[in-house]
Every structure is written in structure tokens, then in C-alpha cells.
């Protein structure tokens, strides 16, 4: 067949033309991409409006909608951010949030990794029932536990730890462990059984198999868990209000920012700017670990 004949056949048969295949593939996926971009835009509208309002005065917010800035970008200023950043002891509250969030993320992550490995690869009496009870704890509302835990902390081995960092660490560890163990157990349970069987044949102990095999292969799930727990603890206000309360020396950033609104309701216009200042650290954590995020939450969802 001549060159002209092959070229003519390629034009007549798009399945034999790589460029045509790519075009057809893009066209088939186009509706899905359009729908995803539309959903993304709708989901981002409140965030965009909040971000624009963080630069507007209270009079502008009360008189016009945020979308008017898109056609007449005037009246924007950094006054709200100056007010928030100029708040007294904001730096110390920021450090308090780090003192609370970092241990309250690392402690449940480490405990959950050990426990998830035991549920996934070790056999012991009552393993299934214990795991079911653990999963059931996820649905218990936090509000129902504040009074009994607060009373327990008031006499914690003979001392009152309410108002201290330790109380918040223990509370967030208890609240985060059920979901953390559930997530890591599903991921570790989907790891190849042959690898662990070969390790046991070679004389590896369960501890060695955990540190040498399970832990390195579970990095995506652990990174996903760190993102979930860090963002939850960093943005938490309720648990901090209950277990730190009026101890101003240990109050996190969320309590300080919430105090911008006084008892008469004034100062609410600063909350948008305060929210975007508070989200900087969780955003950096997510961006640094996001390459593991999708792999971690999806790999353990279906056991293969």
C-alpha cells in the first residue's frame, strides 16, 4: 500500500489516528469536566464572597452585596486585617494553637497506627466486636461527653487539669481516635498479605513487620489522617471553650478571634478577616501533604 493510501485510510478510520483518539477521548470527558467545574464554582461562591467582604467596611457590607465589587472595585481596604492583627496577645494565642494542635495531632496518629495494625493483622479474642464498638463511637455527639469528661479532669489522679494544655490534648485524642483507627485499619487491611506472610516466615516479629512494612506502606493514609486531625483541632472552638475556659494564658487563636464580637454583637465585620488569617496554617499543612491525600482516603475504601 502506498503512503497516500495509508494516509487516506487514517483519515477514513479515526480509530487508527492517534490525534482523533485524543479528541474523541476529550469530548467524552467534557461533560464530566464541565459539571465538576460548575460544582467547584458553586462551592467557592460563599468563600469568594467572604474573602471580598473581609476587605469591605461594615457600612458597605450592610448597603450592597459583595458582587458589586466585581463591577465597581472601590471601597476596599485592609482596616479589618489591621484590627485583627493588632489585637492584643495575638502572637501568643497563635503559639497556643500550635502547642495544642501539634501534640493533639501526633498523639492520636501514633496510637491509631499501632491499634489499626493490631486490628488488621493480629488475631486476638473479641477483635471484631471491639472494632464494631470503636466504629460506633464515631457517631456519639461530642456535646454528650463534655460534663463527664470535665468532671473526670477535675479529679485527674488527684489534680485538676481543666484549663491546661493536657486536658485539651487528652480530649482531642479521645475524640479523634475512633475515626483515626477506622481509617488506618481499612488502609492497612488492604495491604498485600503475601508481604507479611513472607516476613513472618523469615522470622520477623509483629513489631518488626509493623515498623518495617506496615508503617512505610501506610504513609498516604497517615498523611491524610494528619490533615484531618490537624484541621479539626486547629479550627476547634468548642472543645477549647469547655476544657480551657477562662484561662487566658492557654487560650488558642480561635477563642481570641471569637472574642472580636462583643456581647452586643458589634465587631462581626472582623470575623471574615480573622477566618482567613486563621486558615493560613491549615492551608500550608494541606498543600504540603496533599499529594498523599487522595491516595490515602481512597486506597483503604475498597479492599482489593
DSSP line for 54-100:
TTS-HHHHHHS-TTHHHHS--S--SHHHHHHHTSTTHHHHHHHHHHH
User: Which domain-ending residue is among 77, 112, 129?
Assistant: 77
pLDDT surpasses 80 at 132:
yes
Cβ–Cβ < 8 Å for 165, 250: yes
Question: Is the confidence at residue 69, as pLDDT, over 80?
Answer: yes
Asked if the structure places residue 34 within a domain, the reply is yes
* 304 within a domain of the structure (yes/no): no
Higher pLDDT, 89 or 124: 124
**Do both 118 and 228 map to the same domain?**
yes
Using CA atoms, how far apart are residues 164 and 174, in angstroms rounded to an integer? 16
Q: Indicate if 17 and 118 belong to the same structural domain.
A: no
Structure confidence by residue, pLDDT tens digits, 173-191: 999 999 999 989 988 988 8
127 and 54 in a single domain? The answer is no
- Within 122-252, residue ranges assigned H as helices are 127-136, 146-154, 165-189, 193-201, 206-209, 215-217, 219-235, 238-243
Residue 63 belongs to some domain of the structure: yes
Asked if residue 293 has pLDDT above 50, the reply is yes
Whether residue 295 sits in one domain with residue 151: yes
In a domain, 290, yes or no: yes
Give yes or no for residue 235 having a pLDDT over 70.
yes
Q: State residue 88's pLDDT score.
A: 65
Q: How many domains does the chain have?
A: 2
Domain identity same for 198 and 264 = yes
Is residue 69 located within the same domain as residue 97?
Answer: no
Q: 115 and 251, same structural domain?
A: yes
- Are residues 49 and 185 both part of a single domain? no
Looking at the predicted structure, is the pLDDT value of residue 245 above 90? no
Domain-located, residue 120? yes
What pTM was computed for the model? 0.79
User: Do 48 and 103 sit in the same domain of this protein?
Assistant: no
Residue 64 in this model has a pLDDT that exceeds 70: yes
> Which residues fall within 8 angstroms of residue 286, CB to CB, at 6 or more apart?
227, 231, 293
Taking the C-alpha atoms of residue 300 and residue 184, their distance in angstroms, rounded to an integer, is: 8
Is 140 contained in some domain? yes
In a domain, 28, yes or no: yes
User: What is residue 3's predicted lDDT score, i.e. its pLDDT?
Assistant: 47
The reply to whether 169 and 147 lie within a common domain is yes
Is 116 found in the same domain as 261? yes
> What is the span of the domain harbouring residue 258?
87-299
- Same domain for 98 and 55, yes or no, is no
Note whether residue 226 is domain-resident. Answer: yes
Distance CA 64, CA 71 (A): 12
Amino acid at each position: 500500500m502506498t503512503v497516500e493510501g495509508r494516509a487516506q485510510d487514517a483519515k477514513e478510520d479515526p480509530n487508527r489516528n492517534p490525534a482523533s483518539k485524543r479528541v474523541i477521548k476529550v469530548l467524552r470527558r467534557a461533560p464530566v469536566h464541565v459539571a465538576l467545574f460548575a460544582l467547584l464554582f458553586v462551592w467557592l461562591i460563599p468563600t469568594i464572597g467572604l474573602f471580598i467582604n473581609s476587605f469591605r467596611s461594615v457600612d458597605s457590607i450592610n448597603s450592597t452585596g459583595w458582587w458589586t465589587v466585581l463591577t465597581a472595585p472601590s471601597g476596599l481596604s485592609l482596616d479589618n486585617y489591621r484590627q485583627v492583627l493588632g489585637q492584643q496577645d495575638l502572637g501568643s494565642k497563635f503559639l497556643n494553637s500550635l502547642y495544642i494542635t501539634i501534640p493533639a495531632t501526633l498523639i492520636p496518629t501514633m496510637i491509631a497506627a499501632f491499634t489499626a495494625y493490631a486490628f488488621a493483622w493480629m488475631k486476638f479474642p473479641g477483635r471484631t466486636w471491639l472494632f464494631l464498638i470503636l466504629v460506633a463511637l464515631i457517631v456519639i455527639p461530642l456535646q454528650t461527653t463534655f460534663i463527664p469528661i470535665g468532671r473526670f479532669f477535675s479529679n485527674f489522679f488527684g489534680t485538676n487539669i481543666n484549663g491546661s494544655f493536657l486536658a485539651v490534648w487528652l480530649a482531642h485524642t479521645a475524640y479523634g481516635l475512633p475515626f483515626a483507627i477506622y481509617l488506618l485499619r481499612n488502609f492497612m487491611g488492604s495491604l498485600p498479605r503475601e508481604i507479611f506472610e513472607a516476613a513472618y516466615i523469615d522470622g520477623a516479629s509483629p513489631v518488626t513487620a509493623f515498623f518495617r512494612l506496615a508503617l512505610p506502606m501506610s504513609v498516604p493514609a497517615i498523611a491524610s489522617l494528619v490533615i484531618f486531625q490537624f484541621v479539626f483541632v486547629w479550627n476547634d472552638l468548642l472543645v477549647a471553650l469547655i476544657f480551657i475556659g477562662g484561662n487566658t494564658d492557654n487560650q488558642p487563636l480561635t477563642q481570641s478571634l471569637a472574642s472580636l464580637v462583643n456581647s452586643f454583637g458589634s465587631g462581626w465585620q472582623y470575623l471574615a478577616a480573622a477566618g482567613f488569617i486563621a486558615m493560613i496554617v491549615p492551608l500550608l499543612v494541606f498543600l504540603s501533604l496533599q499529594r498523599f491525600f487522595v491516595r490515602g482516603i481512597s486506597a483503604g475504601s475498597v479492599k482489593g
